Structure 1
Amino acid sequence: MTHGVQGDQDAAGRRVVAFATAVGNFTEWFDFAIYGFLAATLGRLFFPGASPAASLLASLAVFGVAFFMRPLGGFVLGAVGDRLGRRALLTISIGLMGAATTLIGVLPTYASAGLLAPVLLVLLRCIQGFSAGAEWTGSAAFLVEHTPADRRGRFASVVSATAALATCAGGLLVLALEQALTPDQMAAWGWRIPFLVAVPLTALGTWVRLRIDETPVFQRLVEAGARVEAPLRRSGRDVRAIALTFAFSSVQGLGFYYLATYVITHLTATVKLGRPQALLLVAIGLVCYAILTPLAGALSDRIGRRRVNLIGGFGLAIVAMPAFALMGTGTAAGVIGGMVLFAVFQSMVSVTTVCMLVELFPAETRSTSSSIGFNLGLALIGGPGPLVAAAIAAGTGSSTLPALYMVIVAAVCTLALAKWLPEVRGRTLDAEAAKEVPVVDGAA
């Protein structure tokens, strides 16, 4: 009877942790993603005087600039996670993101402030990037370190799903505003509303995170006196795991930003769909992706991270162009079908990425080292994806060729992972447990 009561308490505690992770992660990615949905409007307001295409590319370039701040955020805040705890990292991260997003909502535009306006916009996007540099890896460690080994994949899907749902919510809010307001009202003040929603979301996310205990893994690390004073320097021992993380995070990040950010631009600028229809179809596609993530997580719990990640990566290399060809038809069935085809394999890559960010690294340097590999992948490969895809579309006029970048990255990185990625499902997460990346069956 006592065992049953304890089990119920543990399960309830895990649900609370999952909820806290979901709320905070939703807030972070809602704040980060709404810029992408407003890229065309922001291009006109902050980069006027050029053609609509040039303004859009300038706005997307600012979206990409944030990714170059992510490694710095990962270095700094990742070290906070290893020295002060996973909860401290996540609390700082959500505060920075909320503050930067709120300030974007009150920025003067080019018409009233001249060149100062785009300079401030770039600065605030950099702060958002700095904050985001620790959110995904911090949420991964916080959630997975609370979770039993045989259910990590299912719980890890919370990180992937809430990022997609946050992006979906941002898109639907922008759609509602564009339907309720005139174009002049949207340009004058309506675009500010999604950014100002950050105020209550940040307050809620911070409150929830402060009420949750530190992870058992980090608590045991403290009790054992095993924390390191300079986790960034110590992360040099994790070079091989960092390189593997760079590879699978490049595929994951690029796929996610294709799905969550570029597709809306693709449908409006290249396929020539009306913006309301495009936003609604993207929102439906993202909900389908969120539904797929727990299935992918359960599959990885059953057959392993390595197999599921490789299936996802090779799948993206194969289906990316057919998926964009379907979206290029401009029909509702084609767009949703293309997004779901893409999302089936993206969900596999995404959920296994969350797990492997934790399972590949020792507890002492987990936050720092995983942040380095993950954010370098997003800064160098994933983050520029929407800009690269938009440039390909603008240069070729093709609705299919923008997927070529995804195909190349997925194929090259997954081939490398097929050779060197070990199986890490079920690995213990406590201190000293994962110093060496083992070679296991299926990995050369």
Structure 2
Amino acid sequence: MTNRKSAGTGKTATMPATPAALTLSGQQYPNDGAGVSKGTLRRVVGASFIGNFVEWFDYAVYGYLAVTIAHAFFPEADKQTGLLLTFGLFAVSFFVRPLGGFVWGHIGDRVGRKNALSLSILIMSAATFAIALIPGYTVIGIWAPILLLLVRVVQGFSAAGEYAGASAFLVEYAPANRRGIYAAVVPASTATGLLLGSLIALLLSVSLSPDQMNSWGWRLPFLLAAPMGLIGRYIRTRLEDTPAFLALEKEDEAVKAPVTALFREHWRPLLIAVGAVVLNAVGFYVVLSYMPTYLSEVVGLSSSASFLATTVALATYIGFIFLTGLASDRFGRKRVLITASILFVLLTVPAFMLLATGNFLVILLVQILLGAMLTLNDGTLPSFLAELFPTKIRYSGFAVSFNLTNALFGGTALFASTLLIKLSGSDLAPGWYLMGAAVVSLIAVSLARETSKAPLQS
């Protein structure tokens, strides 16, 4: 046995020499998935999947229908300015995510992962549904974009708890040697949300006339959020919290101020986590969300062809995600994350040069390649970030680092890409931006320790 003081409390918890169980007050609590039934694991996977699915379905629809949304809320602006304003609203909603990270991290580490996730999905789905009900600019004038901004701020706040909470939930339930593949469910769920959003955008673009899309067609996808959110909340409320958190709760070992403990005692892994997320933040939005707009507005591909290429790339991305999770379990998180960064440094700009050819087959192959490269980062990052922090502050550490970085670089990626093209006059600007993000993540991950083979910190 080994003794370890809990952060922020001064209490000492007795830990086993192996990660098979937590032993507190003479009782054993399964850790790293030991003793958890397969049925429970399936329910945990489903509960973690659906919340992120709903969240990223919304982001996909907003990004893929950006041109139509710009017409509905900024009809008096020219096309490029309308896009900038629409993506600006997209970015502003991200600025509240660090605040959400603090709040949801505190709730998750103090009250429990399940409670935080059950509440966040309810707020998220309600806000997404509300977008479908906002009248356009021609009906209520300036109040239309103001209401859209307010709803997206609520979305940003609620979304701050989803990705981090689901990742922590899965990692704390997963078997010790399979944390990577289980945590890969989280980015897979985001990609599935994007995939459904892309499919619906494609269906609408080929089924409705431009007038129908501008007047009511764009609202239809947002209406789906309410039933999906209610289903997700029902699944989550029927689960127990993770064994690791229940053990801490029983011994009153939960930190009273987890965010304070995070900045005071775990600032080094926090800085590493922030740097590691940069490639994910920029890459995810540029490669999977901004790309249809880039292909149609910059390259000149038709809207239907742009959506089709992105849809195929997303389908392959989901498969690659799980392969990456398996690879990170076998070869280690650090090695896989470093490989991702190096590939983006070397291949991003050449990939954007090939996109500029306008050849559909070439574009499709390039998108599949970029998506596969991105999965090396995205499929490994959830388990890597969760393993960086001890149980007492795991939700806070993940939520703060992930949401702070996404606020600075993820939410602004669509706006920055559009602005950089306008300022530089170069269609390759998003590629250079993505390459720079890869350099930052490469440095950060190089400074990290390997986490895949070690037991979860208590």
TM-score bin, normalised by smaller chain: over 0.9
Tell me: CA distance 1:361–1:9, structure 2 relative to 1, closer, same or farther (3 Å): closer
TM-superposed CA distance for 1:29, in Å, is: 1.3
- Contact 2:279–2:440, Cα closer than 8 Å, also in 1: no
Find the aligned partners of 1:430 and 1:361 in 2 and give their Cα distance. Answer: 7
Amino acid at match of 2:318: A
Q: 1:312 aligns with which of 340, 348, 351?
A: 340
- Contact 1:325–1:338, Cα closer than 8 Å, also in 2: no
User: Which moves more between the two structures, 231-240 or 110-119?
Assistant: 231-240
Structure 1 position 233 matched with structure 2 position 265: no
Aligned to 1:365: 393
Find the aligned partners of 2:274 and 2:257 in 1 and give their Cα distance. Answer: 22
- Contact 1:79–1:368, Cα closer than 8 Å, also in 2: yes
Q: 1:129 aligns with which of 141, 150, 156?
A: 156
Q: Which structure has greater helix proportion?
A: 1
TM-superposed CA distance for 1:9, in Å, is: 6.8
Q: 2:383 aligns with which of 338, 342, 355?
A: 355
- Contact 1:217–1:429, Cα closer than 8 Å, also in 2: no
Find the aligned partners of 1:269 and 1:60 in 2 and give their Cα distance. Answer: 14
Structure 1 SS opposite 2:114: helix
Structure 1 position 199 matched with structure 2 position 226: yes
Q: 1:217 aligns with which of 220, 239, 244?
A: 244
Q: 2:409 aligns with which of 381, 384, 389?
A: 381
Amino acid at match of 1:136: Y
Amino acid at match of 1:304: G
- Contact 1:94–1:206, Cα closer than 8 Å, also in 2: yes
Q: Within 5 Å, give how 1:128-207 maps onto structure 2.
A: 128-207=155-234
Q: 2:276 aligns with which of 223, 226, 248?
A: 248
Amino acid at match of 1:227: A
TM-superposed CA distance for 1:264, in Å, is: 0.9
Deviations 1:71-120 (CA, angstroms, capped at 9, x unpaired): 01101111110011111111111111111111111001111111111111
Q: 1:37 aligns with which of 64, 73, 80?
A: 64
TM-superposed CA distance for 1:328, in Å, is: 2.2
Amino acid at match of 1:247: G
Aligned to 2:451: 424
Structure 1 position 57 matched with structure 2 position 84: yes
Structure 1 position 69 matched with structure 2 position 72: no
Tell me: CA distance 1:327–1:8, structure 2 relative to 1, closer, same or farther (3 Å): farther
Structure 1 position 297 matched with structure 2 position 329: no
Find the aligned partners of 1:324 and 1:159 in 2 and give their Cα distance. Answer: 28
Query: With structure 1 as the length reference, what TM-score do the two structures score?
Result: 0.92
User: Which moves more between the two structures, 393-402 or 403-412?
Assistant: 393-402
Structure 1 SS opposite 2:173: coil
TM-superposed CA distance for 1:424, in Å, is: 0.8
Structure 2 SS opposite 1:62: helix
Find the aligned partners of 1:319 and 1:35 in 2 and give their Cα distance. Answer: 28
Deviations 1:310-338 (CA, angstroms, capped at 9, x unpaired): 11112112111122222222223212211
Q: 2:363 aligns with which of 328, 335, 348?
A: 335
TM-superposed CA distance for 1:10, in Å, is: 2.2
Structure 2 SS opposite 1:191: helix
For these two proteins, the number of residue pairs brought into alignment is: 425
Tell me: CA distance 1:9–1:73, structure 2 relative to 1, closer, same or farther (3 Å): closer
Deviations 1:183-214 (CA, angstroms, capped at 9, x unpaired): 11111111111111111111111111112221
- Contact 2:276–2:444, Cα closer than 8 Å, also in 1: no
Aligned to 2:7: none
Amino acid at match of 1:342: L
Specify every segment of 5 or more residues in structure 2 that has no aligned partner in the other structure, as ranges: 1-32
Deviations 1:127-166 (CA, angstroms, capped at 9, x unpaired): 1111111111111001111101111111111111110111
Aligned to 1:120: 147
What RMSD over aligned residues (CA atoms) do the two structures have, in Å? 1.6
Structure 1 position 286 matched with structure 2 position 347: no
Q: 1:272 aligns with which of 300, 320, 324?
A: 300
User: Which moves more between the two structures, 230-239 or 126-135?
Assistant: 230-239
Find the aligned partners of 1:426 and 1:7 in 2 and give their Cα distance. Answer: 16
User: Which moves more between the two structures, 238-247 or 422-431?
Assistant: 422-431
- Contact 1:40–1:56, Cα closer than 8 Å, also in 2: yes
Structure 2 SS opposite 1:349: helix
Query: With structure 2 as the length reference, what TM-score do the two structures score?
Result: 0.90
Aligned to 1:48: 75
Aligned to 1:436: none
